[in-house]
Amino acid sequence: MPNIILERIMNNYLNINSAIITLVTIGLITIITIVAYSLERRISNSSPLYQRLIAHLTEGFVLAISMILLQQIFHILNSGSINNGWLYANAQLTILLYCMYLIRNQITLWINILMPFVYYNSMNIERLENKDLPFFIASYIFLVAIVIFIYLQTEKLQNSEWKYLFLQTLFGLSWWVLLWVDHSFPIYEIANMLIVFLIYMSIIRFCAKKVQETMLTYNDLQVQVNYDELTGIRNRANLDKTAQEIYQTYHSEKVPLTVTMFDIDHSKEFNDQYGHSTGDEVLKHVAHTMEREMFLTDTKGQLFRFGGEEFIIIFRGKTPEQCTPIVKDLRDSLVNTPLFLKGQKLNVSISFGISQLKNTDSSFDDLFNRVDKYLYESKNSGRNRLTVEGQTIDFDEKKIEP
């Protein structure tokens, strides 16, 4: 008897087809994870509706294609038969449940809710005449309740392994009762298939966690490489990459591109009088204020810390004339938001230089050198000023100096 059981386990679970399906499932989940993380990095709740809709439709499409690919691979491995169908079913259930935790959008929710009527649509009419229809209805309602609960409580469930395992068990049990109604296998097999599903899910989840950790590590490295550690905005390295891209894109185009460079007036005095920690707070205050105001006013500009107390803003599709009132508003917001630190009120002002990319510029450096020159014209004219293509504006007096 033990030999028969061992032989059955070897034939059903430890064979080449099982290994192939497992590897394919891991591969599909890896692809889904990469796509989901890549899309979620580009959207947020504040993103336009059409962008969020496109991202969610893409995620749903990738999930649907993964299910179809898994089905086709299973049929190829089994020469079109349904032998070892438990293997294919558990693989699909694993992907469905995993995506509920990973993607968390309404398209994924609806795919899970409608899947019992899609995976085997030829049975939809026959179920009405099946004596076990009440079991199907009860199990389907139970499945929908579990799926909705997971959708609403995903973040809380991810922090509890026991809750995750419990809901995973209920999810698998509901599905295997539905499959039992459709395929009429011995009911005791439900327990076997459920155990296999839990083992399968554990293997896949372990591999998926490693993929997620790799993605998070990559994201952390991206942040370290491209963002300034002190202020949190884009850094010099990111600017260098962006500069090459925008020069190639805008140099031969009629669409304007304008660069603004500014730095903090009397920054050395902050360091000398109050210490370098205060100087760092001033830098963060300026960066965060400018970034916040640019976001709230939707200026479409990109803010970079060039180095020291110097910053750069790149405005795509805008002329210097269009950027001048934007820069004035940014400067006014900073002046009207003093920094209070250790009982001290610190008034911070900044000086600007602005110039547009020209056809005669042989590289981005030509534009940068011109903007840098205009910035120093503003500082040499008394600071707290803006120089636009050689003309200096005094923010307080509102007049143009030659």
Q: CA nearest 27: which of 60, 69, 64, 55? A: 69
**Does residue 19 lie within any of the structural domains?**
yes
Query: For residue 401, what pLDDT is reported?
Result: 44
Dihedral of CA atoms 264, 372, 376, 353 in degrees, nearest 10, equals -70
Residue 389 lies in a domain: yes
The three-state secondary structure class of 119 is coil
How far from the centroid of its chain's Cα atoms is residue 393's Cα?
41
**CB-side neighbour CA atoms (13 Å) of 212:** 13
The answer to whether residues 180 and 267 belong to one domain is no
* 135 and 256 in a common domain: no
Residue where a domain terminates, one of 226, 250, 277: 226
On whether residue 202 sits in a domain, the answer given is: yes
Long-range contacts of 64-70 (CB under 8 A, 24+ apart): 64/111, 66/28, 66/31, 66/32, 66/95, 67/92, 67/95, 67/96, 69/24, 69/28, 70/21, 70/24, 70/25, 70/28, 70/95
The CATH number for 256's domain is 3.30.70.270
Asked if residue 201 lies in contact with residue 97, where contact means CB atoms within 8 angstroms, the answer is yes
Residue 231: inside a domain, yes or no?
no
Same structural domain, 77 and 182:
yes
Whether residue 136 is found in the same domain as residue 268: no
Query: Which two structure tokens, joined as six digits, stand for 370?
Result: 């011109």
**What's the whole-model pTM score?**
0.53
Domain span at residue 251 reads: 236-401
**Digit-coded pLDDT (tens) for 184-199:** 888 888 888 888 888 8
Reference 110, options 64, 153, 68; nearest CA is: 64
105 shares a domain with 152? yes
Q: Is residue 365 part of a domain?
A: yes
- Please give the backbone phi and psi of residue 57, each rounded to the nearest 5 degrees, phi first: -65, -40
User: Is there a single domain that holds both residue 273 and residue 316?
Assistant: yes
Query: Is it the case that residue 63 has pLDDT exceeding 70?
Result: yes
In the predicted model, is pLDDT for residue 49 greater than 60?
yes
Give the torsion sign (CA, 133, 137, 139, 143).
Answer: positive
191 located within any domain: yes
Same structural domain for residues 199 and 279? Answer: no
What is the per-residue pLDDT for 81? 53
- 346-362 pLDDT tens trace: 888 899 999 999 988 98
**pLDDT above 60 for 8:** no
Question: Which pLDDT score is estimated for 158?
Answer: 65
Total residue length of the chain: 402
Distance of CA 146 to CAs 86, 138, 278, 395, Å? 22, 12, 53, 61
| Average pLDDT, integer, range 265-272 | 79
| 193 and 292 belong to one structural domain | no
* Residue 287 and residue 220 share a domain: no
- pLDDT tens, 311-338? 999 999 899 999 999 999 999 999 888 8
**Residues 110-154: pLDDT tens digits?**
989 988 888 776 666 777 778 888 888 999 999 999 999 988 887
| Structural contact between residues 312 and 304, judged by C-beta atoms closer than 8 angstroms | yes
Distances (CA, A) of 214 to 80, 221, 319, 367: 37, 11, 42, 39
Does 253 lie in the same domain as 171? no
Q: Looking at the domain assignment, is residue 170 inside a domain?
A: yes
The last residue of one of the domains, among 203, 226, 249, is 226
pLDDT-derived band at 399 (thresholds 50, 70, 90) equals very low
Q: Which of 195, 226, 257 is the C-terminal boundary of a domain?
A: 226
Is residue 287 domain-resident?
Answer: yes
The reply to whether 220 and 305 lie within a common domain is no
401: helix, strand or coil: strand
Same domain, 70 and 193: yes
Model confidence at 10: pLDDT above 60: no
Higher pLDDT, 115 or 45: 115
Residue 46 has pLDDT above 80, yes or no: no
Residue 160 has pLDDT above 50, yes or no: yes
Q: How many domains are there within the chain? A: 2
Give alpha helix (H) positions in 41-132: 49-77, 85-102, 106-118, 123-126
> Which has the closest alpha carbon to 25: 75, 66, 57, 80?
66
Tokens 């899947």 locate to 115
